[in-house]
Structure 1
Amino acid sequence: MKLSARNQIAGKIVAIAPGAVNGSIKVEIGGGDIVTANITEEAIAELGLTLGDTVTVIVKASDVMIGK
């Protein structure tokens, strides 16, 4: 699959927390860093996501903020 998003980070699923409509997926991307994505339960099922799966985190945002 080709995507226009340039921010693609490989990682491994380390936690899946189901919810009523959306689930929370935690992906370890290296160095102990974790990215969390909230996606629909339907998407989790369709992708067949399970703990330990190797996945790609894709970030496409119109705004990126940094605070200090």
Structure 2
Amino acid sequence: MKISARNQISGTIVSITPGAVNGTVKIDIGGGNIVTSSITEEAIADLALVPGDTVTVIVKASDVLIGK
């Protein structure tokens, strides 16, 4: 599958926390860095995601906000 997003980072799922509609998936991308993604429970099931899976984090955003 080709996609336009160029920010693609490989990692390993370390945890999945279910929710009523969206679940939280934490992915270890190495170097002590964890990326957290909130995706639908339906997507988690469709992708058959489980801790230990190797996945690709794909970031496509028009805005990146930083607060302090």
The TM-score by the shorter chain falls in which range?
Answer: over 0.9
Unpaired runs of 5+ residues, structure 1, are none
For the aligned residue pairs, the C-alpha RMSD in angstroms reads 0.9
2:17 is aligned to 17
TM-score, normalized by length of structure 2?
0.95
Structure 1 residues 22-63: Cα deviation after superposition (integer angstroms, max 9, x where no partner): 000000000110000000000000000000000000000001
Moved over 4 A (4+): none
Unpaired runs of 5+ residues, structure 2, are none
TM-score, normalized by length of structure 1?
0.95
What are the within-5 Å matches in structure 2 for residues 1-68 of structure 1? 1-67=1-67
Provide the aligned length of Structure 1 versus Structure 2: 68
